[in-house]
Structures are given as structure tokens and as C-alpha cells.
Structure 1
Amino acid sequence: MKIQDILDALDRITGGRLVKAPRDLSGNNPFVVTKSSGIPGKAVTELPGLVWGDPEAEVTRAAVMMTLTESAIELAAASGVNCLVAHHPVADGTNSGGVPIRHYMDLYGLNIIELHEAFHGLHPGIAWLHGHRAVEVDIRCGGLAGNILYVGEALPEVQTLGDLLGRLRRLMDMEREEACVREERRFRGCDDLFEASTTAAPAIVVGSPADRVRKVLHIFPHTGFTPDHLECVFGRHPDADTLLASISHLHAGNALIERARELGLRVLCGNSHALEIFENGVPLARALAMILPQLEIRLFRDRMVSYPLDAFGGEAIQEYGKEIAHRHLVRETVPCGL
């Protein structure tokens, strides 16, 4: 098994969307996309395919993940994984602990593959998990690359907003996740502990559990979806009754909530970005396993937990932090002009 075998399998899964030749970098591959907020030097270009490594390298184990981090790199090296398939684009330095990718990856003999936009729109799973069948999919809503919109019809078993929430809780095994958080709070003796997937849980923003659901506009607010986009889409689908936001959530004060309310739409937040490994990672890993049954595949899941400063770690590390801060980091304030 070589890295090239995995690349071939991913090219089959994506319908030929991977970068294969220099011509793909000159506007011939629509999935080679540069993302920029206009911050100098911070743009990143997605290159679906092998970002770093050797196509002829032998694979020991592969891991599918959402975002490459130094923790993932260390876990891979320590657990015998040498091929990392990341959903999100990889940026030099940013995703490799602040150092150039070549130094860190070559140190451990790691190969990195990324997909992101090349994987979007390939399967109806996110819609299905959220209780609807997508009848229209636009991965460039308003002409904005990556601004994804699903227009969906509720599945027969999803009659109300309450049904939709219950479905997500069951499919995401949320009861077990919440139990894990309760147990960690008990074990650490800290009730003020929060974990991303359970804290950012699905919730009704406008409406009630008994409200009927027939047709949903399923958006992903972090991709740049605006109130103007919503009004335009609703103009084409005036029979829609629910605005469903997932991956990213809508919080109080967001203009999309008010525009939806004005249009008579209920608003529900579904799975957050913390659960995308379930939505996109599991199907991708399963597809690879079906094409390459001899390949051992792991799933790397991010788990973000917050603690109050005074509850973090043990007594020794607390004293370490205080001493370092006191002796080396806190300075006397010098009045301006002196």
C-alpha cells in the first residue's frame, strides 16, 4: 500500500477533483481555491491532494481528521500513523506548530493530504442527519466559493422542530457525550468545565418544539451567508418554513435571525463545527475502507475543553505558572514619554 493508492482512491471518491498536474494550479481546477479575509500574508490556497510527502511512500496506518494540529502530528507519530487525510486546508506553520511543515513532517516521516471544497457537495449525509432530503444544493451561493446552501424537504419521520432536535441528539450520541463531561467534572472536582460539542449543542432559536417542519433552508453561516442571500433564496422558495444553520451557529443579535423572523421563518441551530468529524469524517473514512479494505484507518477527533485558570492542571503546574509570570513576564508600567 502506497500513498498513491490513497490518492487514487480519493480521486475516485471526489470524481476526479484532486490536483494532478501543474496545469491544475492555473485556474483549471475549480477546487483549488484561495481563501482570504484581506489580512496581509494570511491567505491560504486549498490544494486537494498531497500537500506534503512522497506518493511512493509505503503506508503503515492512515488517519482521517478535520484539522491538522501539532497534537494530531504528535499522536500520528506516536501511534504509527504516517498518512494524515485532513478535511480542512493546511497552511504552512499554522497547522504545524508554528514551524515549517517540511521540518515537522520530515522529522516523523508523515504524509499530508487535504480535500475540503473538493469533498463538499458529494454526499447528502449532512442533510440526512438534519432530517431532510436536499432537493437543491448550491456550493457557491451568491457566487461565493464555499458558501453552501441546501434546500430540503423534511423526512417523513421529522414532523416538528422537536423531532429534528431529538434526531440529532440520537445520531450524535449526545447522551453519552454529556455523560463524559459530567464524569470529567466529577473526576477533576470542577463543575465549571465545558466541552465544545456539548456546550454548542443544537437548539431552537426562533419557534417551539411543536412547530411543524416541511421545507428547510439549510445554511452554514461561517461560509459568508448573509441576510441578502437569505432574502434572495426565500424569494425562490417562499414555501420554506425553517432556517436551519449548522457547522456554525447563529447567536443572539445576528442579523440573519432578525431577517428570518421578518420572513416568517423558524430558526434552528443544528450540529456545530465540533461535530463535523461525524458528518464528513466518518463517511470519508468508510469510503476509503471500502476501496482499500487492507488499509488500517483511524479517526482523529478534536476535543476542546475549557477550565477556569485556577482549576487547570495540578498544584505544581499552577505554581510554575505563577512563578514564571511573576519573575519573567509581568513588568512595571513605564509612564509614556520616559
Structure 2
Amino acid sequence: MAPIVHRTPCKQSSTLNAITGSEVSLKLENLQKTGSFKVRGAFNKISQMTELECARGIIAASAGNHAQGVALAGREKGVPVTVFMPEGTPETKVLATRQYGARVIIAGKNFDEAYAAAKREQLATGAAFVHPFDDLAIIEGQATVAMEMLQQCPDLDTIVVPAGGGGLLAGTAIAAKLMRPEIRVIGVQARAASSIASIFHGTNNTAVPFLPTMAEGIKVKEPGKLTTKIIQAYVDDVITVSEQEIASAILFMLEREKMLVEGAGAAAVAAMLFRHLPFDSARTGVIVSGGNFDIARLEECRKTATDIGTASSY
């Protein structure tokens, strides 16, 4: 994947260091091509497809970042791409996906409904389906984030990872544990969509809320079967963060790190900012997974953050 993906920076945050008492290194996948880590898995998957599969075209479903990754990877490989995206997807993500050359179809009120529509189209056309997370080639591609982190910051003792369907978390856990068996991997979900946390902790999955969230990139009702098995085997804990905490983390990154990141990308930062790690960590790596934030939601973000009085208290 070297010719297409950036080796993104891994930089320390002095403010987070002071707040947490840990050396915190931010892996800035918001600076990746297409604005998120998703291009890694998409390109790895499409690179392994046969000529016949490519000739039939590609169909995907996405809340935005996977769509852009598949669109760019498809364009690089000369494969036509159709992406199903749910209603309410930030317009910036829809426009970017089209600019990368994909045909975009808006379908369903959430990712799961868009996914169902995409699968119906795939069965009708015979096109190849590129799953956003529950595919070994996708997981392998996402694992390169952790591989880079541990090359750049080899003394990390914990990696904190945002999680929706689980592709990035599963890939991170596999790569990190193979390279450093003693390292701890912590998944972070939005409390409004916390299916992985529920399964991981053995609670009643039917009671898990599935509510509106600023972290639409990790709003997935059901994680993958493959990703869940990997997470249960290799991840040390899965925690959740509130909407107010996510909003505050977005503002923190903008005010202190001078970076605009999306809700999903800020989830792991929120876990550090509000000290949710279940144990002390001396050297913590935090994956900032994406930067495709809809600027029109910035005022909403500010109002949400001030509900807990933390918007400017870092």
C-alpha cells in the first residue's frame, strides 16, 4: 500500500500529557488520504480482487469514510464504484466520494439500512461487495496503522482505538499483540451506539441504545462476526464516551492541536481527556481515525460540549 497511503505523523500532545499524567502520542489518520484510515483497508482489499471481480464493478455501503476510501482505491485500480450512503451523511463526505469518481446512492436512515440496500443491489448485479469492516483483507489493511505507530513510538504500553464495526480495533489488536504481546489495546465507542462494548462485557445486546451521535463514523448497530471474535480474543477492554465528551474532544483538538477532526476521530481522544482508561498508562498511543467533520455542525458541537462545562477548561 506504500504508493497510495501516507505514513501519517505520530505526535505528542503536551496538553493531554499534563491532563492525564501519561505521555500521549496522537496517530493522525485525519491527515491520511481521503481524511481517514479507511483507504488502507479499501486499497488492500481491492488490490487482492481478481480481474473478473474488478470487471463487474464494486458496491459498498458507508457512512462516509469507507466510501471515500473505496472510491479512491477503485479509481486507482480503474474499477467502477457504487456506494450506498444513509440519509443524514455529512454533505462533505457525499461530495468527496463523488469527487473521487464513485456513484453515490442515498438509501436508508442509518448505516444498517444503507448496507441492506447495497447488498440487494450487489445480489442483483453480481458486483463485488467491499465490506467496511468484516473482511480479513480490510482488517489487514487497517492493521498497518498500529504497525506504523509502533515503528514511530516503540515504547507505547497502551493503544486507544475508536470502534464502530470493529475493523480498525481488530486490526490494531492483531498487529500490536504480534509486535508487542504485552501491550494493552483499548477500544472506545460512542455511548449512543455501543454494541461492541455490550458484547465484550457480556451485557444484554438488545438493550444497547442506538441513538443520534456526533460520531456517525462509528455508529454501527451490529459489529462484524469476524471483528467481534478478534476483539474478544485480543482486546483488553472496550469503554464508552458520551456525546458531550466527544464534542469537547473535537473542540480540544481544534483549539489546542489546531486540527479539525470528526466525532469518530475524537472518540479515543475523549477517553483520554476525561480519564476513562481503566488503568494507568505511562505511554499511550491514541488513534485519531478521521478528520471529515461537517463544519456546519461546529455550533452544535460547541453547545453540546458546554453542557458539561468543559469546552474551554483544558
TM-score relative to the length of structure 2 = 0.23
Q: Between the two structures, name the one with larger relative contact order (CA 8 Å, sep ≥ 6).
A: 2
Larger Rg: 1
Bigger helix share = 2
